[in-house]
Amino acid sequence: MTDLLASLDDATLAANGPFDLFARWFAEAEAAEPNDANAMALATVDVDGQPSVRVVLMKDYDPRGFVFYTNLQSDKGRALLANPRAGLDFHWKSLRRQVRIQGPVSVVSDAEADEYFAVRPRDSQIGAWASAQSRPLASRAVFEAEIAEVAARYEGAPVPRPPHWSGFRIAPARLEFWQDRPFRLHDRVIFTPESGGWRVHRLYP
């Protein structure tokens, strides 16, 4: 692991901003975590005000935000379309690090969704058509029959992206980087947008 003080040095943070730090931490997580360094907890609130959280996989990120893909008719898809704000949490236990992100949500462009869908494994593409995600399923046999039907429908041809399948981008209005330190004297650094740049400040652990 890199030196903790160097990774959270105030001058470096102010100069480089949150995305350089995230890229560095994410690269280290990819090298250290045994599975899915891109896994992130996604928190949403539905139309009834009921919060919900689940783990999804980040598929892209840049200064515009953090992207994942899903069925728009799923529970999380409907919640985000109705209430387009979300929270994310990356927890890299082997590195004793956490990154929390909050902000508004938007649907990615059709071109972005098409580009990502085209590189998914074919069985995942078929599953995107066959699965009525989050809705009741009578039996596994019913689902397997639907998978077989979609596979037969597109046999010998590319599988197009379903119109109900796309991605969401969470634009960061707040990023918190948390680094474990002994005796719970942790480092917590917050970035918030300010005048075309980022304001950096610390929180007590």
pLDDT tens digits, one per residue of 77-126: 999 999 999 999 999 999 999 999 999 999 999 999 999 999 999 999 99
Query: Rounded to an integer, what distance in angstroms lies between the CA atom of residue 91 and that of residue 99?
Result: 7
For the chain, list the domains and their CATH numbers: 4-117+166-202 (2.30.110.10)
Catalytic hit among 96, 100, 184, 199: 184
Cα atoms in the 13 Å half-sphere on the side-chain side of 153: 13
Burial class, 16, CB count within 10 angstroms (exposed 0-12 / middle 13-18 / buried 19+): middle
Of the chain, the end-to-end C-alpha distance in Å amounts to 21
Q: What is the predicted pLDDT for the residue at 1?
A: 40
Q: What is the predicted pLDDT for the residue at 71?
A: 97
Closest CA to 177 of 101, 95, 103, 99: 99
Whether 24 sits among the annotated catalytic residues: the reply is no
Q: What is the predicted pLDDT for the residue at 90?
A: 98
pTM of the model: 0.91
Q: Which residues sit opposite 99 in a β-bridge?
A: 90, 177
Mean pLDDT of 12-16: 68
Residue 13 pLDDT class (50, 70, 90 cuts): confident
Mean pLDDT of 58-82: 97
Which positions ≥6 away from 196 have C-beta within 8 Å? none
